[in-house]
Amino acid sequence: MNLGYVNRTSGEKILPGGKGINVSMVLKNLGFENQALGFTAGFTGEVLKSMLKAKGVESDFIELDAGMTRINVKIRAKEETEINGQGPKISADALELLYQKLETLQEGDILVLAGSIPESMPQSAYMDIMKRLQDKKLKIVVDATRDLLVNVLPYKPFMIKPNNFELGEIFGVEIKDKDDVCKYAKKLQEQGARNVLVSMAGDGAVLLAEDGSEYRAEAPKGTVKNSVGAGDSMVAGFIAGYLITDGGADAYRNAFEMGVCTGSASAFSEELATKEEVEGLYVKTSAKNDKGGVAYANYRFVRQEEHLPWCEGKLEGRNTGSCRSLMAESGKIADVDTYRKGVYAREQEGTTGIGEGIAIPHCKSAAVKQAGLAAMVIPDGVDFDSLDGEPVHLLFLIAAPDTADNDISCTEQIIRVFVWT
């Protein structure tokens, strides 16, 4: 790029962005529904909403009467240059509308406050939000810098995510290594943060969890293509990993590993990480949990509160409904009710709880159009009359078409080898 002269691009790409938007898009990519909140204005605001809608991200923005949603330009040349727009002015009335929307959140909901505060808003906005919502028992994640971050600590955010440079700025020191990160992250915990996740770009990351655990990770190996949104992706991955394990015993370890892999997957991609990219990287770096079961691999997992009982008899109350729903959503089941009855009939022949906390309910049926596999984590476990008498924590639901060349026993053996190897 030659300053003072006409420069022509070799290509352009327009993407929705902003820290909060990035978190929403990555969560959606990972299979977690969420809602993006904030302000939009002008034709750029309309474009932003339409782009998010095209990506399947739900939004509930407050439309401002004047100005336009800002455009941030990133120029890739020998050096990367950023030109960030001002954005619209946000009135006190518009801010109050945002507060009212946030008041509808309920206990257990997760709220992410991310990015800088526009000059037209009070710089205490994040602190004001947390103060207003402190009795709602929300899990609030804050990804901001300096005073924006420090000022919310008395309200005990669920998680904060500075990077190592931002952490050093807060305390006026140079962070040299992970030992320094742990030392100063601990100080943020002492000031009120429940969990402190610190990203370190190519040097990995550190998590100090509220249960006293400390996790350190090196950055996964790969070629960095675009670092924009990597930190936001780490936040989304942490939330997804925590939700997958439903706050169980391994919640923070799993959340940390998912966060690191998701952030890296975005850095290794031209755009934000997809579910497949995250899964591939996760399997390479941490395919198994401590019990030998797969924590997160090429399967779709659901949270425990979403489980719905669907079988009768032996399977009644075994909470495999959401797993069946995942299978149905894949389009591989022609008749869900017939498939359900087939799984029930197979279970009557003998338990599919094969031991080691694993069950593989299945059936071979004409109602199945194409072979499929869905998986579900049950953090608290469920009685399944397993061969070893232990509760089931990991459930694989298998669908096989009733064709001459399909042998369900082969599928069972594949699952056994996959889980136990």
The tokens describing 280, both together, are 């591939």
Q: For residues 130 and 327, what is the distance between their CA atoms, to the nearest angstrom? A: 39
Please list the helix, strand and coil fractions of the chain in percent, rounded to the nearest 5, in that order: 40, 20, 40
| Catalytic residue numbers, as ranges | 232
Q: Rounded to an integer, what distance in angstroms lies between the CA atom of residue 405 and that of residue 237?
A: 40
Residue recorded with tokens 């946000």: 90
- Secondary structure letter of residue 335 according to DSSP: -
DSSP 62: E
Distance of alpha carbon 375 from alpha carbon 27, whole angstroms: 19
- The DSSP secondary structure of 224-284, one letter per residue, reads -S--TTHHHHHHHHHHHHHHHTTT-TTHHHHHHHHHHHHHHHHHTSSSSPPHHHHHHHHHH
C-beta separation of 332 from 272 below 8 A: no
Report how far apart, in Å, the C-alpha atoms of 55 and of each of 24, 26, 332, 335 are.
10, 10, 23, 29
87 vs 79: CA distance, rounded Å? 25
CA nearest to 409, candidates 367, 368, 360? 360
Q: DSSP letter for 163, please.
A: B
Q: What is the number of alpha carbons within 13 Å of residue 403 lying toward its C-beta? A: 9
d(CA 26, CA 271) in angstroms, rounded, equals 10
CB neighbour burial string for 234-252, b if at least 16 within 10 angstroms, e if fewer = bbbbbbbbbbbbbebebbb
Helix axes 251-267, 230-244, angle to 10 degrees: 150
